[in-house]
Amino acid sequence: MRLGRLVALFALVLVVFGFGATPASGRTNGLPDSMAAIGDSITTAANTSFFDLGGSNPEHSWSTGDGSADAVVSHYERLLAANPNIASRNFNDAAPGAKMADAPAQAQQAVSQGVEYVTFLMGGNDLCTSSKQTMTSVRDFTAQFRAAMDVLATGRPGADVFVASIPDIRRLWELYHSDFRAQWVWGTFHVCQSMLSSGNTDADRDFVRRRNIAFNTVLRDVCAEYAHCRFDGGATFNYRFTRDDVSQVDFFHPSTTGQAHIADVTWAASH
């Protein structure tokens, strides 16, 4: 079944990356021979299951994952099905806890790797702070994202950049606010208290969600300034994830199923 899905994607990949057009420098038939992921613990696939407690599992990543036994068909694996030359050139430069302020350094790392395709999912930790007062400002978020894009545009001017919107974190509250286990984990380990604290009011959560939307507007508008950048149109934010998509370790990160769905949603929005 998995092999069949990959083979079936072959034709789509060729269309997405312009097969038949004049190949870009260093590419195979217009397809990237290398890729990198910029992001945080979502992209490193942290806490995807109880067997992965407390650590990153990049083999399950929606972006660069290469776990042949999981259900995640990552961007890397979809490209690999059409271009074997990308094999083992899937760099996951994301880091748990990273904020947009860390994106320029990750972008520089991607530049040093000489990649031709970059995925970008960042901003969750700029929202998920100790309180609504400690979230990153829209002004700083804008400047930091533009700085990262400038690094990529200057260092790898021909590379394609795909920017995913930040998921709707209020959905976690909707799914689990009455679940004792989730409430205990969120409170004990101080998970995303700006949104998930039991002491917040509805107005507090609405304030954080508005910042979530504002950040996504920044991602859309700044991305549009760069010729090789594509925004997902809000597809990741609009995806109504379910409990199956959420880690049962921390009730916050995507499960393996969640990673698979992020891969599907973002891939569909990447062209």
CATH of the domain at 259: 3.40.50.1110
According to the model, what pLDDT value does residue 234 have? 98
Whether 25 is covered by a domain: the verdict is no
Beta strand extents in 94-154 (DSSP E only):
117-121
Whether 27 is covered by a domain: the verdict is no
**Contact residues for 266 (Cβ-Cβ < 8 A; gap 6+):** 62, 63, 75, 119, 121, 162, 164, 232, 235, 236
CA-only gyration radius of the chain, Å:
18
According to the model, what pLDDT value does residue 26 have? 56
Strand order in the sheet with 229-231: 90-92, 35-39, 117-121, 160-163, 229-231
> CA-to-CA distance for 105 and 98, rounded, in angstroms?
11
pTM of the shown model: 0.89
Kindly give the pairing relationship between strand 35-39 and strand 160-163. Answer: unpaired
Instruction: Determine the 3-state secondary structure of 31 from DSSP.
Output: strand
Whether 26 is covered by a domain: the verdict is no
Instruction: Determine the 3-state secondary structure of 38 from DSSP.
Output: strand
Whether 221 is covered by a domain: the verdict is yes
Number of domains in the chain: 1
Single-letter residue type at 6: L
Q: For residue 121, what are the domain limits?
A: 2-20+32-269
Residue with structure tokens 């991305």? 223
Whether 206 is covered by a domain: the verdict is yes
According to the model, what pLDDT value does residue 29 have? 74
> Among 71, 33, 31, which residue's Cα sits nearest to residue 256?
71
Whether 95 is covered by a domain: the verdict is yes
**DSSP H or E segment with residue 122:** none
State the 10-residue block means of pLDDT for the chain, 271 residues long: 45 43 54 97 88 77 94 96 96 97 98 98 98 98 98 97 98 96 96 96 98 98 98 98 95 96 97 81
